[in-house]
Structure 1
Amino acid sequence: MDYEALQENVREAAEFLKTLGNEWRLMILCSLGDQEKSVGTLENELGIKQSALSQHLARLRREGLVKTRREAQTIYYSLANPDIMKVIVILQEIFCPPEDKA
């Protein structure tokens, strides 16, 4: 891999990690997992105000981490790329290990 390509890949990774660096955005991605959810469902599950949730969802959408589907007046969000879930799983393994069963 040449230096310029590496530099571009590193820049993309840094932007991705910067987006994950907010606890609410990370909670949203963890909550979505492998299923789509409506804004109302996310709001209830996470206990975040709708206005703040909308801002975080807009950022995640702008960064290409989530996608939307509209059904009547309800907007559903889901992960835009299965690779995002790989990162979430690794973070869960590191920071949310299962409790030891003695």
Structure 2
Amino acid sequence: MARAGRRASVATRRFGWPPRGRLRGRRSRTYGLGVIIGALDALMERGIFERRPVKPLAHVLLGAFNEGALLVAHASGPAAARAEVADTLAYMLERLRLPSA
């Protein structure tokens, strides 16, 4: 486990990715969870998505996106897996859309 943590640390320094714990405030709106929270807030505010508690929904969606990416990355047929994951994520997000939107 220490070895995996070291690789993540090297990648963070090499590519300039901020450590997860430092993604706060203004910068958090630029990465992962912050982007999802901002998008959900905007979609709900505009009446496109039904009102739901944003923070837990954002965490669940981020988990779905991450797991979908892992599924594609480890698939023997990545193109087919990518299409299936995209279709599944679109289905999930469509359930949040209000009928009038």
Higher helix share: 2
Same topology, TM > 0.5: no
TM range (shorter): under 0.3
Q: Which has the larger radius of gyration?
A: 2
Structure with more of its chain in strand, by fraction: 1
After TM superposition, the score normalised by the length of structure 2 is 0.23
Structure 1 length as normaliser, TM-score? 0.23
